[in-house]
Structure 1
């Protein structure tokens, strides 16, 4: 039936399985709602899923949280157990048990008011490849549950949690070499009765509270309290990892033998690192989210002192209606120290044939996986080698979509990709056998998926990467690298360590009490400094003003000509001559400089400002043979002086000029502080007066390298502005 709105905004609808769902919505504090849920997960089961990384057409910002769910579905191998955590969960368990009793592939076992155990029978026939995702597995249970609660009326109600790596072996049985620890769970999914939704575009948040009624059973007025189980730290000091230094590189050599024989095209083995958790999981989660924004940030309390804290960069499977999409990631390079260095790294990555091959193979396997469940001809590559940038890494990413066949659902799409080639390899089954034979420990949750299965038929899941698994007070971080025949063993080992480093840093920073990304504080140097910025009709003057304001200085921008009254009224500590078109004579710069000198004011010139100062003091200007407009140059620092103090001997800067100061006629009182490779003056300072200038744009993106432009402005404000004595 369609949604029926009752009084006070209460809505009801009927599910496919005949369950009446009542939904009550209440507004939440947008600014505080998610933080409150994160804090609660230290001691209560539940999950927070966030996307704090945007990419047009792919990811948008959102948050969803469930805390104290009344019921969970867990599994290990082909055994499944469903637990109720309160009286409301007991009602849900009764509804689900009645539905599961009608599924012939399931064998129901022990049953109490709070728990149902069951198992899934092994397939009795051979399933062809096109229907393999329909064979009896633990997903048979999930299909029955989603069918019971299915309705198109609600896009948020569903199952929330985590899918482990070993689930794949229900479909592709392999010889397991690694012993699975007691208590391992391959799946934990929560069925919530309250969901927090945060809409970052509308800056709104709300809670949806649900009640369920069927055949006289109802969750209304049933006991809702659930006992807390606070996080418990331990004194145990774990080893550094499960590999000794150099051992992963040795594994790369072994993999290259498999490539040479043709057994594998690529493979993604990992190694595991350990760290003791001296901080609460919520503190680690906040730190990781701050330093490593991602489209699939998550914090899950699985119960039994097991937590997952992650910042996954990769979509696993997303289904919206009949549309299925994935975003395989392969090709990785380290971030630069600044945007300029980042751009150089991006060029290296895009020009790397090895990284291109990695992603090509991943996407070809991905397209193959979709072809099993999608309409012929509907599988398309809609984004190729797109750049995504994270806190420490730059990745190349493809974006692939398809349309599910009418006889396929979201679970078929999900299972056709279990598990993603980007965490296994190709051919996938052979790669998974190699991983099982050569990794040191079972993957548990790593390489699986986290997210939400909607009762409306949709699904949104992320690959379990960049994840900290906390179990009994010890954190585990597993990281892998995509290996090819032309892989360098030492570089691949270093890549795994780099990938794990952001997770380890989050754990250690949380211990140190750091909750956010650090930022260099420059505000103090300009406190109390009053700046007059003379605008020569330039296109970049407001960016330049912004740089000066970042130091804490007060900036007033005035178009030339500047009247005497302005100097008297503002009483500046520093006069800045902006860049501009034409020549200094077009703006009567000599008059402005004379007024400033008469008051013994410090002067800093930028581009046209340098030309104006050189000419005002008796020098001459010349024209470049080739204009330098929007061009970066590597300049040599001859004298650090005021402007270039602390910047080293060479700096990359951004140039916009066709006129320059003639070094042959530059007055002797000026010292040339920097020059380009061809000898063009790039910086001057007066020997006795508080005057300095640069023949480039410190505010340009081309001068961002090493934060050079901002550091120059700091030097000018901190040192040059103090040299004057206002009249």
Structure 2
């Protein structure tokens, strides 16, 4: 079905940049980049998938059943995204909030052309009927030159969907639910947006990635819709019979002063509120993984470990499980979706309460981007720290969220949101 070719790279970074420039001619593109941040369980340094041969896009109705049928039938590499609103396919939930972006709830495609980067080589896989295009494409990639980089756009006016005083009121309403015992924690999100705005999506992604250099960066182009993602978080990965989840809960800003930076990192590691948030989500993830796990196989490999990124320090835990080889990969995702770090506990009540207080349908934000392989493995990130763009509607959006617990202070939560939003705002306004 695919013809594979191993191509040795003299300068891997240069080839990656040129391949991404070359890819922009296609209507459907997925680019996944670890930025050489080698966390445990890394498989590839980067992946480029372009030019859809087959595809699926749907709303949330029976979305997972349709994806399962598509993945089983195609039995090849497929790339795409799952929006947060697929929760409505799994539970009796709904998404009635405003949606300025209009993305399909689920989208995957089977690429004609695939590049798998690892170390100093790239494995190139082309569908057999276009395998003879490889040499011409390699020549075109090596000749790719980016036009002079300039501003992302001119005069972007970013608006807040929820203003500061209203944000405080909403957090206090959530705290009321927590004190009544309705939930322990929920992830409350807010949107920043710009209307009647044209941006250079590819340029924007590059600038966003340059600022953050995260391990789960992604660029998606599907016709007129773009996702520019600088996520530090893995949602779920399957490698053989092992399933890995790495939820993030707990954020601290960076400092240019090394001593101050170390102090911020140490304070995060000892912060009782942040640790309690993380532990609650770890318990939720353990419960989600147990639905498909072999008995007794769910393990917490890392609890509340601090990882440092260019913009922030993050508290990350790693939970693993073992599954039977007959368990379908889509069923593993469905049983854990949406990810605990973007919902709360108990999960269904937390999602309902968040939906009541939020003003915007989340869509791709707090969903997942990734792939399924022919071996029924998969790897998906959590879509955070991301800019979403509908070129036809001229609508630009980015959202941020935070976990609200009984120990939350509305002002601190608001300030944490601004820290998380900094990279996106910087890219769009500079």
1:508 aligns with 2:429: yes
For the 8 Å contact 1:37–1:67, the answer to whether it is kept is: no
Aligned to 1:484: 405
**Paired residues for 1:318-337 under 5 Å:** 318-337=237-256
Stretches of structure 1 that go unaligned for 5 or more consecutive residues are: 1-20, 79-136, 151-156, 213-218, 223-232, 510-727
Tell me: CA distance 1:74–1:446, structure 2 relative to 1, closer, same or farther (3 Å).
same
1:418 & 1:247 partners in 2: Cα distance?
Answer: 29
> Quick check: which one's helix share is greater?
2
For the 8 Å contact 2:175–2:406, the answer to whether it is kept is: yes
Tell me: CA distance 1:373–1:50, structure 2 relative to 1, closer, same or farther (3 Å).
same
Deviation at 1:284, TM superposition (A): 1.4
Aligned match of 1:394 in 299, 308, 313?
313
Tell me: CA distance 1:491–1:456, structure 2 relative to 1, closer, same or farther (3 Å).
same
For the 8 Å contact 1:53–1:60, the answer to whether it is kept is: no
1:474 aligns with 2:406: no
For the 8 Å contact 2:174–2:404, the answer to whether it is kept is: yes
Aligned match of 2:83 in 160, 164, 182?
164
**Higher mean Cα deviation, 258-267 or 498-507?**
498-507
For the 8 Å contact 1:41–1:47, the answer to whether it is kept is: no
Aligned to 2:113: 194
Tell me: CA distance 1:236–1:73, structure 2 relative to 1, closer, same or farther (3 Å).
farther
2:5 & 2:90 partners in 1: Cα distance?
Answer: 41
Stretches of structure 2 that go unaligned for 5 or more consecutive residues are: 134-151
Tell me: CA distance 1:26–1:380, structure 2 relative to 1, closer, same or farther (3 Å).
closer
How many residues matched?
A: 407
Deviation at 1:308, TM superposition (A): 0.3
Deviation at 1:66, TM superposition (A): 1.5
Aligned match of 2:219 in 288, 294, 299?
299
3-state SS in 1 of match to 2:7: strand
Aligned to 2:260: 341
1:60 & 1:23 partners in 2: Cα distance?
Answer: 20
For the 8 Å contact 1:53–1:59, the answer to whether it is kept is: no
Aligned to 2:49: 66
2:204 & 2:89 partners in 1: Cα distance?
Answer: 33
Aligned match of 1:208 in 125, 128, 140?
125
Q: What value does the CA root-mean-square deviation take over the aligned residues? A: 2.5
Deviation at 1:240, TM superposition (A): 1.3
2:262 & 2:38 partners in 1: Cα distance?
Answer: 18
**Higher mean Cα deviation, 489-498 or 284-293?**
284-293
1:72 & 1:339 partners in 2: Cα distance?
Answer: 48
3-state SS in 2 of match to 1:361: helix
Tell me: CA distance 1:142–1:193, structure 2 relative to 1, closer, same or farther (3 Å).
same
1:280 aligns with 2:205: no
Q: Deviation string for 1:604-662 (max 9, x for gaps)?
A: xxxxxxxxxxxxxxxxxxxxxxxxxxxxxxxxxxxxxxxxxxxxxxxxxxxxxxxxxxx
Tell me: CA distance 1:332–1:442, structure 2 relative to 1, closer, same or farther (3 Å).
same
Aligned to 1:36: 18
3-state SS in 1 of match to 2:407: coil
Aligned match of 1:357 in 276, 285, 298?
276
1:298 & 1:347 partners in 2: Cα distance?
Answer: 30
For the 8 Å contact 1:147–1:455, the answer to whether it is kept is: no
Tell me: CA distance 1:67–1:32, structure 2 relative to 1, closer, same or farther (3 Å).
farther
1:475 & 1:181 partners in 2: Cα distance?
Answer: 9
1:158 & 1:261 partners in 2: Cα distance?
Answer: 47
For the 8 Å contact 2:85–2:95, the answer to whether it is kept is: no
1:70 & 1:437 partners in 2: Cα distance?
Answer: 40
3-state SS in 2 of match to 1:177: coil
Deviation at 1:246, TM superposition (A): 2.7
Aligned to 1:145: 70
Deviation at 1:302, TM superposition (A): 1.8
For the 8 Å contact 1:46–1:190, the answer to whether it is kept is: no
Q: TM-score, normalised by structure 2?
A: 0.88
Q: TM-score, normalised by structure 1?
A: 0.53
Aligned match of 1:260 in 169, 179, 191?
179
Larger radius of gyration: 1
Q: Deviation string for 1:344-366 (max 9, x for gaps)?
A: 01221122111110001000000
2:2 & 2:114 partners in 1: Cα distance?
Answer: 13
1:497 aligns with 2:418: yes
Deviation at 1:280, TM superposition (A): 1.7
Deviation at 1:494, TM superposition (A): 1.1
1:183 & 1:274 partners in 2: Cα distance?
Answer: 14
For the 8 Å contact 1:28–1:207, the answer to whether it is kept is: no
1:60 & 1:275 partners in 2: Cα distance?
Answer: 37
Deviation at 1:328, TM superposition (A): 0.9
1:250 & 1:60 partners in 2: Cα distance?
Answer: 44
Q: Deviation string for 1:507-565 (max 9, x for gaps)?
A: 334xxxxxxxxxxxxxxxxxxxxxxxxxxxxxxxxxxxxxxxxxxxxxxxxxxxxxxxx
**Paired residues for 1:569-608 under 5 Å:** none
1:495 & 1:63 partners in 2: Cα distance?
Answer: 30
Q: Which has the higher contact order (CA 8 A, sep 6+)?
A: 2
2:180 & 2:277 partners in 1: Cα distance?
Answer: 18
3-state SS in 2 of match to 1:193: strand
